[in-house]
Amino acid sequence: MGNRAKGLVFVLILLFVTGFAFAQREDQPLDFLTSPTANSTAYQYYSDADNFIQSAYYKEVEFEKWFDFASFASTTNATLGFAKYFGSVYIGAYYGGNLFRGFNNKSYTENIRTHGTDKTLRTYSTGTTISNTVNDNNNRIAVLVGTGDMGFRFSFASNYDSFSDKDLEIVGIHYKEYKNAAGWFSPQFQWGMTKTLLPQGIQPTITFDLGFYRYYTRYDVYDNMATWDTEGIRTTNSRNYIQPELEFNLGGFTISENDNLKFDIDLDYKFSFKIHRNKYSWQDGSNYKTATIKGINTNGSLTQDTWQNHSLIPSIGAEYINNNRLGFSASFGLPLELTLSRRSVMTRYNLNGDIHKNGSDAFTTSFAISPSLFMGLQYKLIPGKLLLNAGGRITAATITMGNVSTDTYAAGVKSSTKTLKTRSLTFSTPTITNFTIGVNFFLNENVTFEAMTGVNGNTLNIFGAGVNNINTFSSILASVKF
């Protein structure tokens, strides 16, 4: 596949991870690294650090013995990659994340509480141990196996953190046990072809991502200090769900090629949905009971929820190359997104935990369009030694057309009142423009340094210091291959 078609594929990836197109998972875990070359050219050009872990493009990384890289884009995250052929089988390994940083502090102090029978409790401080938000820990690992004309990538990402203990005390409340958790477990599989099916292109990839989101609080309180009796386990907050995602990318198709100018088209489709299954609790006399709802428990408020999303991105791109020294590339994408969801308010109506609709029952349809233009330039300032990268992005305001149909229920019975409909047309985000500059320095044929300059916005500072200074380098990535 030519450079232009591959550039289109990466533009689609950029649309996904930056949220211009597909509905984003809340607090989603760390994605794969994007190289300084890709970032500074608005994903019109790319480097070995991008390709080596892509199931369709790993063969673009040319080496005899091995390839590796390290990214210094973040002061808190490490990103490393390594690849090698074992006979005819390609193996690529990837890690990105902050290791053990960000996990909740599990420190405590033991205290003896005298209430009837003495009991030793672990005392935790609030705000450092008990947290129901996603923390800073964020990690992704991946292995790519390439054989023949195909690649198979297996990846796992997580920003999950949890707390669980027994016989503890938090802010004067004594618990027999306390559990809470927040974050994602996200296994992923990707298959891709390393050659085109037709002379003009089509190099498909399929990605399946199975995300498990956990967000809950569950505990059992000692309600009688003299006997250390408890009230029973209660779940006060539970918003867990599973979100499978299936994505198909066409892989680019050349529609015109003449001398130094080339035009390509591409298409990407993604489908995802959510499966909710959570616990809720209620008090029966002096004890608590627990049941399950195919919906959400938000601090005791119950809803039954369904959600699905269809996203389609048609795109067209062009590339111009002048004497193999100057390259200019542009891509226009038109992300289209359809989201269907239903939320029904539920209440419990007996001590057995049975629930029924009691309140609004709203079905929402949302259709969004977000046109985006990406432009990138590469110029060989010193051929074989120094490469200048530049890129620009223009994203128009997201146009969203919404329709909400709402019925009302009372004690499980639908109201005779006419269904209420609400239609909306909104421009939810402002137009975004961004300009970036980067450089690639080739120490020799084996060692490459990539970097972004301080120009990352719409201001260029040539002689001054600080932000937007073209003389400042960041997001440095070093790669070595032999």
Provide block-wise average pLDDT over 10 residues at a time, the chain (482 residues): 46 49 64 92 94 96 95 83 96 89 72 81 69 67 96 94 88 89 93 94 95 93 85 93 96 90 94 96 90 94 96 94 89 95 94 92 94 94 94 88 93 86 84 86 94 70 59 85 93
Task: Report d(CA 79, CA 65) in Å as an integer.
Answer: 21
How would you class 397 by CB atoms within 10 Å of its CB: exposed for 0-12, middle for 13-18, buried for 19 or more? middle
Buried residues in 4-16 as b, exposed as e (16+ CB within 10 A): bbbbbbbbbbbbb
* Side chain identity at residue 259, one-letter code: D
pLDDT at site 432: 78
pLDDT at site 138: 86
Q: Where are the beta strands (DSSP E) in 323-369?
A: 326-333, 336-348, 355-369
pLDDT at site 190: 97
Task: Report d(CA 159, CA 161) in Å as an integer.
Answer: 7
Three-state secondary structure call for residue 68: strand
Residue 8 CA, chain-centre distance (Å), reads 20
Short-list 20, 19, 183, 210, CA closest to 97: 183
Please enumerate in sequence order all residues whose Cβ is within 8 A of that of 75, keeping only pairs 6 or more positions apart, or say none. none
pLDDT at site 22: 46
SS3 content of the chain, % helix, strand, coil (to 5): 5, 60, 30
Task: Report d(CA 406, CA 418) in Å as an integer.
Answer: 9
Task: Report d(CA 455, CA 466) in Å as an integer.
Answer: 10
Short-list 269, 270, 275, 273, CA closest to 308: 273
Number of Cα atoms under 13 Å in the Cβ half of residue 55: 24
Residue 268 CA, chain-centre distance (Å), reads 17
pLDDT at site 405: 94
Phi/psi class of residue 100: alpha, beta or left (left: φ > 0; alpha: ψ in -120 to 50)? Answer: alpha
pTM for the whole structure: 0.88
Task: Report d(CA 255, CA 259) in Å as an integer.
Answer: 14
Task: Report d(CA 173, CA 187) in Å as an integer.
Answer: 38
How would you class 240 by CB atoms within 10 Å of its CB: exposed for 0-12, middle for 13-18, buried for 19 or more? middle
pLDDT at site 226: 79
Short-list 133, 128, 66, 142, CA closest to 97: 142
Task: Report d(CA 158, CA 213) in Å as an integer.
Answer: 10
CB 12 within 8 A of CB 22: no
Segment holding 50, helix H or strand E: helix 48-51
Please work out, in degrees rounded to the nearest 5, the angle formed at the alpha carbon of residue 237 by the alpha carbons of 225 and 339: 180
CB 42 within 8 A of CB 15: no
User: Long-range contacts made by residues 257-262, C-beta under 8 angstroms, separation at least 24?
Assistant: 260/320, 260/321, 260/322, 261/318, 261/319, 261/320, 262/2, 262/4, 262/318, 262/319, 262/320
Please work out, in degrees rounded to the nearest 5, the angle formed at the alpha carbon of residue 347 by the alpha carbons of 341 and 350: 145
* Side chain identity at residue 450, one-letter code: E
Q: How many CB atoms lie within 10 A of CB 267?
A: 16
* Side chain identity at residue 382, one-letter code: I
Buried residues in 184-209 as b, exposed as e (16+ CB within 10 A): bbbebebebbbebeeebbbbebebeb
Please enumerate in sequence order all residues whose Cβ is within 8 A of that of 107, keeping only pairs 6 or more positions apart, or say none. 124, 125, 128, 129
Tokens encoding 389: 């990268």
